Amino acid sequence: MKKYGYLSMFMTVLIVLMSMLSACTVGSGTVKNGVEYNSSTKMAMLYDEFSGYKQTHIDVRQNETVEVVVSIVTEKGSIDAYIAKDNDIANSSYEGHDIPTMSFTVTLSEPGRYTVRVDADKHKGSYSFSWGN
């Protein structure tokens, strides 16, 4: 029985490490009953409660346009989000506070590195940012 316990723990750690290495999403906070999906073209999470932040980056090349499809579901609590080139929130491509349930698209056409970030406080629901293929 011990052998399977160690194997199970090893597999869990391996999956967590693989998830962390496959996408460049960072964050901190607490999540209750959550499922998170991050890749090179998506940052998403569904949860009963999330307090904290998550962020990732999107690189836009010269003569390229990137469409970011955003979907937020709010059942309770609050969630803020922004998409900003060079993390310059004052000149962000999108900034929302206490976002209700909604879906929309943000077009990024100026070359550079964009930060996509969500900040939540006891938020119940989900968020999804997807771009590229």
Per-residue pLDDT of the chain in tens (133 residues, 90 and over written 9): 455 565 555 555 444 444 444 457 777 788 899 999 999 999 999 999 999 999 999 999 999 999 999 999 999 999 999 999 998 888 899 999 999 999 999 999 999 999 999 999 999 999 999 998 6
Are 66 and 110 in contact by the 8 Å Cβ rule? The answer is no
Are 109 and 56 in contact by the 8 Å Cβ rule? The answer is no
Please return the burial class of 95, using the count of CB atoms within 10 Å of its CB with bins 0-12, 13-18 and 19+: middle
Q: Which residues pair with 109 in a beta bridge?
A: none
Class of 25-130 per CATH?
Answer: mainly beta
Are 53 and 117 in contact by the 8 Å Cβ rule? The answer is yes
The 8-class DSSP code of residue 4 comes to H
| pLDDT on residue 19 | 44
Is the entire prediction scored with pTM above 0.75? yes
